[in-house]
Amino acid sequence: MYKLSRIDRSRVRFEALRRKINTILVVLFVLLLASLTAQYGFHVEAVWVHRLEAFDVFVLLFFIGQQAVKLLFAPDRRIFFRERRLEFALTGTVLLLIPLLALALPWMEAHFPNFASVKLATVYLALAQFVIILDMALSGIRGGRRIMNMKIQPARFFIGGFVVAIISGTLALSLPKATTSGITVVDALFTATSAVCVTGLIVVDTPVAFTMFGHSIILLLVQIGGLGLMTFTTFLILFSDRLSIRERVLMREFLGRDNLGELRSTLRRIVGMTLIIESIGAVYLYVCWPSASFDATGARIFSAVFHSVSAFCNAGFSLFSNSMMDAGVAFNPLLNIGMASLIVLGGLGFLTIANITSLRPWRARIIRPGIRLTLHTRLVLVTTGILLAGGTLLFFLLEYDNTLHELSLSEQIMASFFQSVTARTAGFNTTDIGKLAVPTSLLLMLLMFVGASPGSTGGGIKTTTAALLFLSAIRQLRGARAIEVAHRKIPESSVNKAHTVLLLGLSLLFLSVMLLSLLESLPLLDIIFECVSAIATTGLSRGITYDLSTPSKIVLIFSMLIGRVGVLTFMHAVLRPARTDRHDYPSESVIVS
């Protein structure tokens, strides 16, 4: 009979202990989730708040204790610590804050009498709750990795992640404390979809209908949707464990990286760039935004963070009922430059920004002489520049005697440029979109339909798709055999993919317009504009979103979801993959004229 070694027996005992502890943790985490939902989502009496907070403290102490026990009895403490270094780092931070807060409390009470000690305790408890929630998320991700490693088509897994995020956001926005006077399920679902899909279309007035808690939920949903759910979850995994081959293949398909070895550095660069750009943007907006727009410093800080994230993620959500049309905001040059810069950076795409930032002249010549701008980056930059410049000029010419008539020349140029930028799936506006002339509305629809760039926070058919379609048309007119750009030949598969994306995008637009035309008695131009805005995840509207019926809202919900994940990805999830047959039929030409 085979006899286990001492190390094997130790591992068996450890696994048995870990299973028992994890079972208790699952029960406590469910109860904690209910406790946090009651505290933050419902109006409960003060006595119950204290009881729930005491329970939160108990869970925190148990959480810290079980980590110490697992580390103590782990067969290989070094490996166990390395796999959970993020949890241990957060726990260490919480423990370190206890003596720091104890030392700071007397000083705070002496210098700030109005700052009661209960506020410090509340801040510490909120931090502890955040640590536990993050650990719950990491534990859930580890459990969900079994689903990730199943033989599920990547496109279906990707869409499923967005659906889960939308449902979770809907439930959170439906909580009593998230709104000022309640919200219907359909409106909560629409708002959550618009936030996760970084669209910005709204059926309720965001600053009026939602509370600070509701705004925080929307901010979180926008950030998750902007980064991409796969990027967000995989980044958390990288801090706590290694990626399996299946997970690496999934991320390679969504990040467009052929080299699996670059995945870790790419993910860290994406998240790092996002946090840095949004932080700089928040500080910039805090300084530049007129203080008269806010009642308190805290509101000004939150507004700066909210709009920085919303702009970089091309979401279009605003804490002002008329977006950026206020007199002190609409023609503030510093604010226009800041918001436009965030929108453009978010629309360029993470890989494009990474390629640009790695291309330093001295570094390219001395350290890494082989580094260069990729063809993808060149197409993105050129197409983006043409669309921005052309959109600004055409908007100025078309609206010179209309919405821009009473403005000075500098304000006209500023408004034209900002609307050209924001039509690239951002959704903010400094002019009344409902008063634009028909040709200008058609121009904005074209800019929205093209949208941002691949791997970005924006939607649309993407700038590279538009560039390949244009180059393909030029090739056909000239009778060239292949598309050659910058001494590079573009594969025919990429060109075929661009044509497919255009066909599917137009088909989805036609279907959405037809359904809304059947459901609503509204001007056709307004309906088309609304559908293009939803599919391109832009958020601009001619003012009909509030008046839509429930079936029309559902149509736009599906349009926003398909537009965010991409029509090609959606069709991959719906259709069965083709069988690879070994036979080959003879070819025969079809007349096309």
Domain ranges of the chain: 1-148, 351-574
Tokens describing residue 38: 């009651």
Whether 456 and 274 have beta carbons less than 8 Å apart is answered as: no
Determine the pLDDT at residue 366.
43
What is the residue type of 453? Answer: S
> Could you tell me the sign of the dihedral formed by the alpha carbons of 455, 459, 461, 462, in that order?
negative
Which of 470, 387, 378, 377 is closest to 426 using CA atoms?
Answer: 387
Residue 489 dihedral angles phi and psi, to the nearest 5°: -100, 125
Which of 60, 208, 80, 70 is closest to 125 using CA atoms?
Answer: 60
Alpha-carbon gap, residue 95 to 118, rounded angstroms = 18
Whether 339 and 308 have beta carbons less than 8 Å apart is answered as: no
Global pTM value: 0.86
Using alpha carbons, list the distances in angstroms from residue 225 to 315, 359, 452, 462.
Answer: 9, 28, 15, 17
Alpha-carbon gap, residue 202 to 319, rounded angstroms = 12
What residues contact 294, with CB distance under 8 A and at least 6 apart? 300, 303
Alpha-carbon gap, residue 503 to 499, rounded angstroms = 6
| Other CB atoms within 10 Å distance of the CB of residue 545 | 21
Using alpha carbons, list the distances in angstroms from residue 262 to 210, 255, 257, 267, 268.
Answer: 41, 11, 8, 9, 10
Q: Is 99 helix (H, G, I), strand (E, B) or coil?
A: helix
- At what angle are helices 297-312 and 263-288 packed, to 10 degrees? 140
Alpha-carbon gap, residue 465 to 450, rounded angstroms = 8
Determine the pLDDT at residue 45.
84
Q: Report the Cα 384 to chain-centroid distance in Å.
A: 21
Alpha-carbon gap, residue 206 to 93, rounded angstroms = 35
Determine the pLDDT at residue 583.
67
Alpha-carbon gap, residue 334 to 510, rounded angstroms = 39
The DSSP H or E segment spanning 78 is: helix 77-83
Strands 488-489 and 484-485: antiparallel
| Other CB atoms within 10 Å distance of the CB of residue 34 | 12
Alpha-carbon gap, residue 488 to 471, rounded angstroms = 13
Alpha-carbon gap, residue 236 to 249, rounded angstroms = 17
Determine the pLDDT at residue 235.
54
Determine the pLDDT at residue 1.
46
Residue numbers in the chain where pLDDT is lower than 70: 1-9, 86, 98, 101-125, 127, 134-154, 228-266, 292-293, 327, 359-371, 577-583, 593
Determine the pLDDT at residue 509.
95
Using alpha carbons, list the distances in angstroms from residue 447 to 402, 416, 465, 498, 538.
Answer: 20, 13, 13, 17, 10
Tokens describing residue 309: 């994230």
Residue 488 dihedral angles phi and psi, to the nearest 5°: -130, 145
Determine the pLDDT at residue 175.
92
Beta-bridged to residue 179, according to DSSP, are 210
